[in-house]
Amino acid sequence: MKIIVAERIRELMKEENLTQVALANKIGVKQNTISAWLLEKKEPSIRSLWLLADYFNIDVDYLIGRKDY
């Protein structure tokens, strides 16, 4: 199974018109962390996935590509 976290985060940011800085501030991480996720240099930790899911009001399974909406 291919994990498509970067693609999903990018899509959600676009829907909400969020910059990397804005998203970082909203979920309490650094902007360079968001950048690393989007460039697929790093994957979000479980905690970060929870923060993203809570912020965007979605399921973690959607973020990692196990579900579609």
DSSP 42: S
* Domain 5-63 class in CATH: mainly alpha
Q: Which residue stretches of the chain have pLDDT < 70?
A: 1-2
8-32 burial code (b ≥16 CB/10 A, e <16)? bbeebbeeeebebeebbeebebeee
pTM: 0.90
Q: Confirm if 59 and 67 have CB atoms less than 8 A apart.
A: yes
pLDDT of residue 67: 84
**pLDDT above 90: percentage of residues in the chain:** 87
The CA distance from 37 to 32, in Å, is 9
pLDDT of residue 1: 40
